[in-house]
């Protein structure tokens, strides 16, 4: 039988080696110095092993207690390893916590309020650019470097703007996961500045009646996000800055007198 003194005195070797206790229990010591309890047993004529944890987090006494429970399971015709796997499956049964599961849940919840074309673009980008790479990963376990690898793959083919969009969508999925208690934080915050900025496009001011008419027709035909569509249609009626329009409040709108603050609704 092992003693705590023997365990503490054991040193790592060039190759993995074992300190045996009794009744199938032994301590596995790796070249790096980690020590893990394992239990060897036979079930249905086959030799199996199961881990009981790392020493000293799991002391000798507790390891022996777990061994006895496992031996009792074997005696009762229950495979301890299979029982543990089944318990894990039952614990997570019905819990949707992968990136793709939560991403589709987020999309189904919010996309009914979006323009159909915009919604289609969002889900197509997620399906093509994100789900194949990190979709099966639990959101809480995805590291920033994993998401960055996905974005770099998109960037490498010259689709920098798409990479930025995918990161935005991923951020919304992570924040939804946080709000629904399936993640601790939005890891996209760690990736700010990781992608080169997109080139800013300057649009000349439209001053001629012909150019303004074309702009108004383009606004009327816009089929993107619903909120953006509303903002675009309000802009030529109110003639306010973008920031003022975004921060406008209902108290500033007087529908009866067709006024917005001090500006008339034309």
* Domains of the chain, start order: 4-92 (3.30.160.390), 99-191 (1.10.150.130), 209-264 (no CATH)
SS3 of residue 54 by DSSP: strand
Asked, as a colleague might, if the bond just before 56 is cis with ω within 30 of 0, I would say yes
Q: Which residues of the chain have pLDDT under 50?
A: 262-266
CA-closest candidate to residue 255, choices 246, 264, 245: 264
pTM of the model: 0.46
| φ, ψ for residue 54, nearest 5 deg | -105, 135
Q: What is the pLDDT of residue 81?
A: 86
Helices and strands (DSSP H and E) totals, the chain: 11, 7
Q: How far apart are CA 94 and CA 82, in angstroms?
A: 20
pLDDT digits (tens, 9 = 90+) for 21-72: 999 999 999 998 899 999 999 988 889 999 998 998 899 999 999 999 999 9
């Amino acid at each position: 039988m092992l003693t705590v003194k023997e365990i503490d005195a054991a040193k790592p070797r060039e190759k993995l080696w074992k300190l045996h206790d009794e009744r199938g229990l032994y301590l596995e010591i790796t070249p790096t110095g980690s020590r893990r309890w394992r239990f060897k047993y036979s079930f249905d004529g086959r030799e199996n092993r199961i881990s009981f944890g790392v020493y000293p987090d799991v002391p000798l006494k507790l390891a022996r207690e777990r061994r006895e429970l496992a031996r009792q399971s074997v005696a009762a015709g229950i495979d301890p390893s299979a029982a543990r796997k089944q318990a894990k499956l039952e614990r997570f049964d019905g819990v949707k916590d992968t990136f793709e599961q939560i991403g589709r849940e987020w999309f189904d919840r919010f996309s009914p309020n979006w323009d159909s074309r915009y919604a289609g673009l969002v889900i197509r980008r997620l399906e093509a650019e994100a789900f194949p790479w990190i979709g099966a990963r639990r959101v809480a376990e995805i590291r920033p470097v994993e998401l960055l690898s996905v974005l770099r793959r998109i960037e490498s083919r010259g689709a920098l703007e798409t990479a930025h969009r995918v990161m935005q969508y991923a951020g919304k999925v992570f924040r939804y996961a946080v709000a629904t208690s399936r993640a601790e934080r939005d890891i996209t915050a760690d990736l700010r500045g990781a992608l080169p900025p997109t080139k800013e496009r300057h649009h000349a001011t439209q001053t001629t009646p012909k150019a303004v008419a074309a702009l108004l027709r383009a606004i009327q035909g816009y089929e993107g996000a619903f909120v953006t569509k509303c903002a675009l249609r309000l802009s030529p009626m109110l003639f306010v800055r973008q920031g003022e329009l975004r921060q406008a409040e209902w108290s500033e709108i007087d529908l009866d007198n067709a006024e917005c603050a001090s500006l008339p609704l034309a």
